[in-house]
Chains A and B, each alone.
Chain A
Amino acid sequence: MSTTTEQATTSRVNSAMKEILASGASRAVLSVFLGFVVGALFMVFSNDAFLQSIQYFAAKPGDALGSAWTAIADGYAALFRGSIYNYQAANPVAAFRPITETLRFAGPLIAAALGVALAFRVGLFNIGASGQILFGALWATWISTRVTLPWGIHLIVALLVAILGAAAYGAIVGFLKARTGAHEVIVTIMMNYIAAGILTFFFRTPELLREADGGGTPKSDAPAVTAQLPVLLGPEYTLHWGFVLAIVGVVTYWWIMERSTMGYRFRMVGHNPDAARTAGINVERTFVLAMAVSGAFVGLAAANQALGARAGMTPDIDGTIGFDAITVALLGSSTAPGVLLAGLLFGAFKAGAPAMQAIGLSPEITGVVQGFIVLFIAAPPLVRAIFRLPAPQKTTVVADWWRGIFSRGGAK
């Protein structure tokens, strides 16, 4: 008798464990882990010592295994030194520089990912973060290089213009979808090209935004000092207030999605547009509003890029942020804390890549790791198969406990 009870208890605990394991957060963590494993394989197989010792693997397997271990350890140690803390640095200021770099890179990623995440929650796929950054940055650059305003006001105006520009650019997409039924994926991709073209045109034309004494290449002036985002930790570090903006964005995003009635309606439309319409919600108007708010978050990234710069800007001011933001939003499962953590991770990859290159590793390995993380996130059954995780919602032990407490056997 006691053994069966014991078994029952263990199996219930196991089921509870499985339920926790089947959750989205643990899948994200495991996907990151798997991504690092794949990255390790790349390091091993691009390591000369390993490739040589593998030829006499049968005779001395220790050499191959040893060099494989060294390759992985060296690689990830370099990534750590490049993105968190450089224990080989000559002075403390330099030792802490990597973590500030990680935060600097993470800022725009987090901000843009919040925009993409918001659209996800409304059931929209905003591929247009790239175009929205460019469009917001265009007008922010106009303010920061062509307008003279007093200190303080200049920065605030430039910030607002970046946010409003990106929001307007997003709203156009929502409007086209609501009015014509055009699919937002197609529209945002095309809008990316349009924004890139417009920005290049502005940066190339002297009467518009081209730098004062520039040549033929499209480039703008550096933002006026009064419009620059100030550095955050003193002149020793390049980290600027853009990261604080991103954190403000995270809190705002959380408030909108979890506390506000607007976010509640966003989620309603995302889950079930038919029921939302029946409940009196104007679904089309919600699409426009959601794309505008999504664009506004992306605008924070635009401000980060345009006003965080200290030198003249080129038309690739968005870098790969627009597309990395999609992966950050996915990895963070479109929640505020998730996006924050995922953005920090991807910021660390960006900051750490040069350090890996310094020890002879290809910096593209971090790109491969990122790609695989998203691949694993996008294919939950793959991760479940690898870790033998339970399929979601097969067991309901946790839910049953609730039921036992609340319904006293009356539930149906």
Chain B
Amino acid sequence: MKLELRGITKRFGSLVANDHIDLVVNSGEIHSLLGENGAGKSTLMNVLYGLYQADEGEILLDGTVQHFKGPGDAMAAGIGMVHQHFMLIPVFTVAENVVLGNEPTGPLGTLNLDEARKRVREISDRFGFDIDPDALVEDLPVGAQQRVEIIKALARDAKVLVLDEPTAVLTPQETDELMSIMRGLAKSGTSIVFITHKLREVQAVADRITVIRLGAVVGEAKPSESAETLASMMVGRAVDLAVTKHKPKKGNIGLSVTNLTVVGDRHNKVVDDVSFEVHAGEVLAIAGVQGNGQTELAEALVGLRIPSSGTIHLGELDITHSSVREVIDAGVGYIPEDRSKDGLVGDFTIAENVMINRSYGPPFANGLQVDFASRDRITDQLIKDYDVRTPSRETLAKKLSGGNQQKVVVARELSRDLNLLIASQPTRGVDVGSIEFIHERIVATRDAGKPVVIISTELDEVTALADRIAVMFRGRIVGIVDATASRETLGRMMAGATA
């Protein structure tokens, strides 16, 4: 089925989320919708799926104009959607989930589960999904759950399948499986809209690419286009976040990690025999595709995860089995990747957030009491030094913009007497001005003679900040290279090739 979007415009108040977007997806084509977070991809798909009504423009299927009042209409017209967060009921079986809302019934309205099983088996066999209709969804791995979502859409005769950031939750292996499924579906005539911001996947699987930026179509590209070209289309400028920094003045070894292995929530090795050293006055960046163990590595370094083997030394101090508080008190600053979940208490004021990891003693505590005068004085100084744009120190953290929230976290961590800084995705979801500011501060920390570990999935950030780059793939460090390594080399390493 051929899908056509013509001049789709969707406004939220003064914000134009979609600005006259045109998109054509041919029958049997994998069409990738590429754009940064917040570019308007999901809004567009929600318009297509009937969740939002477009302010202007029209949707055509095989040349006929469609009017979707809700997802029911869209489904009936042959559009299926697999959301980033699965819409499955964990305690139901696969068959029960697939027919939910569209149940085959016998006389007296009894549920005909045999019919449901048959449908699942049919689709599963046809595309090689390898799914047992009687398995409970909660027992399935994430990749299989996603296939259940796809079966759900196909069971309703979806001719156009929308996959919204489908690889965000998948392991690399599962991603590869998903891609072969996508190719199989396309071959059988299903049109696929593949929403993502990951260049590698786009290049691997897409037939055509439409790039969206700030709600508007920037242009079309072929998957053979280089990653740089695609990236600069996505971000809208020649991606150049070069940070002026001098050669590092390396000191002694500040952090040494030896044969570190961490077992994850799914009982697999998420960090697998990792070893590296960081000198004082040096930035080591850990690069890699999201979900290759970087998060777990960072959490192990700060004591949030207990390593199953290996050691972590901070200078001479063994912190392998230290508690989070001991690690903090040993002078490890940590900027977590998800600031609203792990870095800040949204319902606390800025002043309260400034002291969250130092509430046990001076300068923030005076005996059993909070030292309010000292706390307020320090907070005001940090707001000034770190250029936090806020009405006052009493403003709740959740009321600040992303960039200002991150500045509060950075200010809190960098204002301590550090022996190591670990920054995980330090500029994710942060405006350009704040990015530059935060990068400068990180470099300043390095120049003050501290060891710094940056964990980032953004290659630009990695190359801008790092003195050396370690690339992680499937829990292992594939290699550690100099910051002058080419993007091609890094890209190959991120896909698992050794340096």
Query: What residues of chain A have their CB less than 8 Å away from a CB belonging to chain B?
Result: 259-262, 264-265, 267-268, 271-272, 274-282, 399, 402-403, 405-407, 410-412
Could you say which of A272, A277, A281, A411 has the most chain B C-beta atoms within 10 Å of its C-beta? A272
Q: In the bound complex, do residue A259 and residue B325 qualify as a contact, i.e. CB atoms below 8 Å apart?
A: no
Q: In the bound complex, do residue A402 and residue B323 qualify as a contact, i.e. CB atoms below 8 Å apart?
A: no
The answer for the CA separation of A271 and B344 in the assembled complex, in Å, is 10
Interface size class on chain B is 35 or more
For residue B248, CB closer than 8 A to chain A, the reply is no
Contact among B304, B334, B403 for A412, CB-based, below 8 A: B403
A-B interface contact total, Cβ < 8 Å: 93
A277-B342, A280-B329, A411-B390 are known; give 19 further A-B pairs, CB within 8 A. A261-B370, A264-B370, A268-B345, A268-B352, A271-B348, A275-B345, A278-B304, A278-B334, A279-B328, A279-B357, A280-B325, A280-B326, A282-B323, A399-B399, A402-B392, A403-B391, A405-B391, A407-B390, A412-B431
Contact among B348, B389, B431 for A268, CB-based, below 8 A: B348
The answer for the CA separation of A405 and B394 in the assembled complex, in Å, is 14
Residues of B near A262 (CB, < 8 A) are 368
Contact among A265, A275, A279, A407 for B341, CB-based, below 8 A: A275
Residues of B near A280 (CB, < 8 A) are 323-329, 357
Contact among B370, B391, B399 for A406, CB-based, below 8 A: B391
Q: In the bound complex, do residue A278 and residue B342 qualify as a contact, i.e. CB atoms below 8 Å apart?
A: yes
Please give me the residue from chain B that is nearest to A404 by CB atom: B391
Q: In the bound complex, do residue B368 and residue A406 qualify as a contact, i.e. CB atoms below 8 Å apart?
A: no
Please give me the residue from chain A that is nearest to B360 by CB atom: A261
Residues of A near B370 (CB, < 8 A) are 259-261, 264
The answer for the CA separation of A154 and B249 in the assembled complex, in Å, is 70
Q: Chain A at the B interface: mostly helix, strand, loop or mixed?
A: helix
Query: What residues of chain B have their CB less than 8 Å away from a CB belonging to chain A?
Result: 302, 304, 323-329, 334, 336, 341-348, 352, 355-357, 359-360, 364-365, 368-370, 389-392, 395, 399, 401, 403-404, 431
Q: Chain B at the A interface: mostly helix, strand, loop or mixed?
A: loop
Contact among A272, A281, A406, A410 for B325, CB-based, below 8 A: A281
Q: In the bound complex, do residue B345 and residue A412 qualify as a contact, i.e. CB atoms below 8 Å apart?
A: no
Please give me the residue from chain B that is nearest to A255 by CB atom: B369
Could you say which of B324, B326, B341, B352 has the most chain A C-beta atoms within 10 Å of its C-beta? B324
For the complex formed, measure the closest distance between the CB of A17 and the CB atoms of chain B, giving whole angstroms: 21
Knowing A261-B360, A280-B324, say if A275 contacts B342 (CB, 8 Å). Answer: yes
Please give me the residue from chain A that is nearest to B393 by CB atom: A406
Q: In the bound complex, do residue A412 and residue B391 qualify as a contact, i.e. CB atoms below 8 Å apart?
A: no
Q: In the bound complex, do residue B356 and residue A411 qualify as a contact, i.e. CB atoms below 8 Å apart?
A: no
Residues of B near A411 (CB, < 8 A) are 389-391
Residues of B near A268 (CB, < 8 A) are 345, 348, 352, 356, 359
Residues of A near B336 (CB, < 8 A) are 278
The answer for the CA separation of A276 and B343 in the assembled complex, in Å, is 9
Q: In the bound complex, do residue B391 and residue A399 qualify as a contact, i.e. CB atoms below 8 Å apart?
A: yes
Contact among A259, A276, A399, A407 for B345, CB-based, below 8 A: A276
Could you say which of A268, A399, A405 has the most chain B C-beta atoms within 10 Å of its C-beta? A268
Please give me the residue from chain B that is nearest to A262 by CB atom: B368
The answer for the CA separation of A278 and B298 in the assembled complex, in Å, is 11
Residues of B near A265 (CB, < 8 A) are 359
The answer for the CA separation of A271 and B327 in the assembled complex, in Å, is 23
Contact among B347, B356, B403 for A279, CB-based, below 8 A: B356
Could you say which of B302, B326, B356, B365 has the most chain A C-beta atoms within 10 Å of its C-beta? B356
